[in-house]
A and B are shown apart, each in its own frame.
Chain A
Amino acid sequence: MSSIDAGPADGVPVRGARVLKAGGIEIAVFRTGDGRLFALRDRCPHREGPLSQGLVHGNCVTCPLHEWVIDLTTGEAVGPDEGRTDRFDVWEEGGRLRLRLPDE
């Protein structure tokens, strides 16, 4: 396991998201209303919509393409829809954003 630096921690706005390219994939980093950080692969389990462009509410994000709701804590679609996308550990350290990527 290795972790990466993804810039200043305040780069991700509250109830917003930013995209990050790492390890050949696009990762969406979210911040919820209460300030917590989450990271998911930026692909909706439905039809690969960019979750980073969605609307963040509670601990969920609504996909911009067809309104599936994805739980940020698990990467799983909220029922009745089914599917999940990869989730990654993300945290703040010394004012920086850190992300752990699985090894290839």
Chain B
Amino acid sequence: MTGRKRRLVLVGNGMAGMRAIEELLALAPDKYDITVFGAEPRGNYNRILLSPVLAAEKTPDDIMLNRPEWYAEHGIELRAGSEVVRLERGRRRVVAADGRDASYDRLILATGSNPIVLPLPGSDLPGVLSYRDLDDVDRMIAASGRGGGRAVVIGGGLLGLEAAYGLQKRGMHVTVVHLTESLMERQLDAAAAALLKRNLEQRGLEFRMPAQTSSIEGRGRVETVRFADGSALPADLVVMAVGIRPNVALAEASGLPCDRGVLVDDTMQTFDPAIYAVGECVQHRGSCYGLVAPLFEQAKVLANHLAELGIARYRGSQVSTKLKVTGIDLFSAGEFGGGDGTEELTFQDPARGVYKKLVVDKGRIRGAVLYGDTIDGAWYFQMMRDGTDITSLRESVLFGQAHIGDSGRGGADAVTALPDHAEVCGCNGVSKGAIVRAISAKNLFTLDDVRAHTKASSSCGSCTGLVEQLLANTLGGDYSEAPAKKPMCPCTIHTHEEVRQTITAYSLKTIPAVMAFLEWKTPDGCHKCRPALNFYLLCAWPGEYRDDKHSRFINERAHGNIQRDGTYSVVPRIWGGVTSPSELRAIADVAEKYRVPTVKITGGQRLDLLGVRKEDLPRMWADLAAAGFVSGHAYGKALRTVKTCVGKEWCRFGTQDSTGLGIRLERMSWGSWHPHKVKLAVSGCPRNCAEATIKDFGVVCVDSGYELHVGGNGGIKVRTTDFLCKVGTEEEVLEYCGAFLQLYREEARYLERTAPWIERVGLEHVRERVVDDAGGRRALYARFVESQKHSQVDPWAERARGGDAEEFTPLPAAAPVEAEGMS
């Protein structure tokens, strides 16, 4: 067809229909002329968040998804407040109550559901409401605004409880009437329901259950709710939240086959090939859905077909539920009721109000109910959907993901262990991988950024915690919740960057000066800010700043690693990992003389003398200095090792003198202080025996020169290096290395290694400064060399000569002075 775009009409301006339009615009923005009919007189909003609006936690404005301007900008004709009353399939036309009509080539029905109104005497009285749209919320707010008042909510399901909570927050006295013994029986088992009820009672809600309403009474307006047993409750407002029924009126009247909902196939097509249906009004493979996650999946499939890509299939969804009542954590998924052949794993901690149950069938999770601690909900749900065999996890699965297969990271982050395809945002079907990719590719820093770019956490918001954890992990601990500004520590409101800029801009040269200028909240900081400030000052004023040893961690103060028993380790520098018989002999002598219990070859190509008494350190260092050794800084946020391989001198594959170059690099950079420890390596060929590609700065020699690699880390979270550039000479290697290290020293936050730093600022930034800008590189290198003049003083030799003596000597053996009074 040429000349004219095809006409697409959407009936139902709600969450599912509009999601389908958005997905379609992303795939094929120009394919259709689009007209949207909506019975509600407004743009499209996030229905899920009606309860926070009712509870006065959000405003109607906060929950708008697409304002009328949005439609206009996208060339969509919005007919808001216009209800379609007739569908003429033969003429491919819809007609609205206001008389306007529209013809279509393709039609989408997305009419949602209608709340069920119990056919009770009096249910049509003013003051009896249902809970479905913004108008209902307005009416409830108006009713509560009349001052106190009594509300009766009929229905103790998800919507009823959210309504009750909201009305109570609006100051009403609320009673929830429920037909059965157990709240939310479609989502909760009896135990969790009891915990929930108790919690809601503590918040002041009242319950009447089991109870059957028989009539609603009042003169001109609701006054009383009467029950089957004859008792009654006074009521100024009645909210009926007893369920929903798919809205099929329009479809049915036009002769489209419907059951409970409009019947569709796996492409969301109805029996009329020109008509699709999506959302709560739909029945697919026997199921109707009342939560957005499956509806959004449907919308994606529908858009794919409207765009004529024709490949997507909707195959049904498993759903999980959360209750959006502030302060109540509740999660439910799958067949939590158990049944024949299934077993139940439960965990209860009544003191903390925690209850967890998993229903397991042949080693696989079939359902889950979590109350009070829902952090693992996403994990269980994922395993449930993947059909993961949990037999080997049985013993510990209920303690949560943090307790499984995690080597020392404590409960820090459950989300780390999720596989990339694991779904984090159930509403919008966004996987962990998609979020992480967006965070790093688009430089996202805040929750709002992630919401905007991925839609994760933008619907019901209950995955917010997980998204925040992903931000934190991906940004290397530098993510902060609201604005992208995170203070250094609780002693100040300023960020690392602000503090560093202030130090140079205002020539602040001591820790007390910085604290006074920036109005520190504590008299002398804490163990987080003092070491950071000490380093920032040292870096800003080389040669001038006087190191504050009491602001250094013990290892850097004692120039050795403190061990668990309070002794220390001594690691002399062994340049490039190359040693000699006389050096080895000297180390052996020292080890014997001071009765060193353990001598170990480290992972960094040198020797560790472990278990030295603090008092012995200076004398031992003196002996080592006499044999030509200096400190290896194995204890410092400093240059550690430069690992090398044997290289061209011996190895049949070696292309360059990797050992010699490594030693030159170490001679240049030893003694330098950094935000965190720094490790270098030089490999003689791409076989890379020195593991240069997991070092902070690594060199891989090739026939034609030297490949430089940066930002590697072999520790807690392995990161291989990024390739920086290739250079031709050893001199260039030294210059690039010094420049890179200086950039890191000047820009990274204290305790941030090069790997997370580069992930934060981006490799491009490093390239621009170190590779592209030759002048800038030379300046950085010059600053590095200058700072090295002052730091290449062997701290061991200084102390062996008596420096800092008090650090290494205990107070004199104490003598009793007197006996005091009566003891």
Contact B522 A65 (CB under 8 A): no
Contact B823 A56 (CB under 8 A): no
Contact A3 B554 (CB under 8 A): no
For A100, what are the chain B residues with a Cβ–Cβ distance below 8 Å? 820
Given contacts A16-B550, A55-B553, contact A5 B566 (CB under 8 A): no
Contact A6 B523 (CB under 8 A): no
Contact A15 B811 (CB under 8 A): no
Contact A6 B811 (CB under 8 A): yes
For A5, what are the chain B residues with a Cβ–Cβ distance below 8 Å? 814-817
Interface centre among A34, A53, A98, A103 (most CB of B within 10 A): A53
Given contacts A11-B811, A13-B806, A58-B522, contact A1 B550 (CB under 8 A): no
Q: Determine how close the nearest CB of chain A comes to the CB of B525; give it in whole angstroms.
A: 6
Contact B525 A57 (CB under 8 A): yes
* Residues 806-823 of chain B, each 1 if its beta carbon lies under 8 Å from chain A, else 0: 100011111111111101
For B555, what are the chain A residues with a Cβ–Cβ distance below 8 Å? 64
For B814, what are the chain A residues with a Cβ–Cβ distance below 8 Å? 4-6, 20-22, 99
For B551, what are the chain A residues with a Cβ–Cβ distance below 8 Å? 15, 55
Given contacts A47-B564, A65-B562, contact A20 B810 (CB under 8 A): yes
How many residues in B have their beta carbons less than 8 Å from beta carbons of A? 33
Contact A2 B820 (CB under 8 A): yes
Contact B530 A21 (CB under 8 A): no
Contact B524 A33 (CB under 8 A): yes
Check B154 for interface membership: any CB of A closer than 8 A: no
Q: Name the prevailing secondary structure of the B interface residues.
A: loop
Contact A34 B817 (CB under 8 A): no
* Residues 512-550 of chain B, each 1 if its beta carbon lies under 8 Å from chain A, else 0: 000000000011111100110000000000000000001
Contact A15 B550 (CB under 8 A): yes
Contact A58 B526 (CB under 8 A): yes
In the complex, residue of chain A having the shortest beta-carbon distance to the beta carbon of B512? A33
Contact of B813 among A21, A65, A97 (CB under 8 A): A21
Contact B523 A3 (CB under 8 A): no
Contact A69 B527 (CB under 8 A): yes
In the complex, residue of chain B having the shortest beta-carbon distance to the beta carbon of A3? B817
Contact A57 B554 (CB under 8 A): no
Contact B530 A55 (CB under 8 A): yes
| Interface contact tally, CB-CB below 8 A | 101
Q: Determine how close the nearest CB of chain B comes to the CB of A34; give it in whole angstroms.
A: 7
Alpha-carbon separation in the docked complex, A50 to B558 (Å): 13
Contact A53 B566 (CB under 8 A): yes
Contact of A34 among B523, B557, B815 (CB under 8 A): B523
Q: Determine how close the nearest CB of chain A comes to the CB of B491; give it in whole angstroms.
A: 9
In the complex, residue of chain A having the shortest beta-carbon distance to the beta carbon of B557? A53
Contact B811 A97 (CB under 8 A): yes
Q: Name the prevailing secondary structure of the A interface residues.
A: strand
Contact A49 B566 (CB under 8 A): yes
In the complex, residue of chain B having the shortest beta-carbon distance to the beta carbon of A100? B820
Contact of A21 among B526, B564, B810, B815 (CB under 8 A): B810
For A7, what are the chain B residues with a Cβ–Cβ distance below 8 Å? 811-812
For A64, what are the chain B residues with a Cβ–Cβ distance below 8 Å? 553-555, 562
Contact B810 A53 (CB under 8 A): no
* Residues 49-63 of chain A, each 1 if its beta carbon lies under 8 Å from chain B, else 0: 110011111101010
Alpha-carbon separation in the docked complex, A50 to B565 (Å): 8
* Residues 29-71 of chain A, each 1 if its beta carbon lies under 8 Å from chain B, else 0: 1000110000000000001011001111110101011010100
Contact A62 B526 (CB under 8 A): yes
Given contacts A19-B811, A34-B523, A53-B566, contact A14 B550 (CB under 8 A): yes
Contact A98 B817 (CB under 8 A): yes
Check A18 for interface membership: any CB of B closer than 8 A: yes
Alpha-carbon separation in the docked complex, A53 to B559 (Å): 12
Alpha-carbon separation in the docked complex, A65 to B568 (Å): 12
Contact B817 A53 (CB under 8 A): no
Interface centre among B550, B811, B813, B819 (most CB of A within 10 A): B811
For A67, what are the chain B residues with a Cβ–Cβ distance below 8 Å? 527
Contact A53 B527 (CB under 8 A): no
Contact of B526 among A3, A57, A98 (CB under 8 A): A57
Contact of A18 among B531, B811, B817 (CB under 8 A): B811
Interface centre among A33, A55, A56, A62 (most CB of B within 10 A): A55
Contact A53 B818 (CB under 8 A): no
Contact B525 A4 (CB under 8 A): no
In the complex, residue of chain B having the shortest beta-carbon distance to the beta carbon of A56? B550
Contact residues, B478-534 vs A (CB, 8 A): 522-527, 530-531
Q: Determine how close the nearest CB of chain A comes to the CB of B519; give it in whole angstroms.
A: 16
For A6, what are the chain B residues with a Cβ–Cβ distance below 8 Å? 811-812, 814
Q: Determine how close the nearest CB of chain A comes to the CB of B37; give it in whole angstroms.
A: 56
In the complex, residue of chain B having the shortest beta-carbon distance to the beta carbon of A43? B566
Q: Determine how close the nearest CB of chain B comes to the CB of A72; give it in whole angstroms.
A: 13
Contact B816 A4 (CB under 8 A): yes
Contact A15 B564 (CB under 8 A): no
Alpha-carbon separation in the docked complex, A18 to B442 (Å): 51
Alpha-carbon separation in the docked complex, A63 to B816 (Å): 29
For B530, what are the chain A residues with a Cβ–Cβ distance below 8 Å? 55, 57
For A11, what are the chain B residues with a Cβ–Cβ distance below 8 Å? 806, 811
Alpha-carbon separation in the docked complex, A18 to B820 (Å): 25
Contact A103 B823 (CB under 8 A): yes
CB-defined A-B contacts under 8 Å, sample of 28: A1-B820, A2-B816, A2-B817, A2-B818, A3-B816, A3-B817, A3-B820, A6-B811, A6-B812, A11-B811, A16-B806, A20-B810, A20-B811, A21-B813, A21-B814, A33-B523, A53-B554, A55-B527, A55-B552, A56-B550, A57-B524, A57-B526, A58-B522, A64-B554, A65-B562, A99-B814, A100-B820, A103-B823
Show the binding face of B for A, using Cβ within 8 Å: 522-527, 530-531, 550-555, 557-558, 562, 564, 566, 806, 810-821, 823
Closest 9 CB pairs of A and B: A62-B527, A15-B550, A64-B554, A33-B524, A4-B814, A53-B554, A20-B811, A50-B566, A22-B814
Show the binding face of A for B, using Cβ within 8 Å: 1-7, 11-16, 18-22, 29, 33-34, 47, 49-50, 53-58, 60, 62, 64-65, 67, 69, 97-100, 103
Q: A5-B816, A22-B814 are in contact. List 6 more A-B contacts (CB 8 A).
A: A6-B812, A19-B810, A50-B562, A55-B552, A58-B526, A64-B554
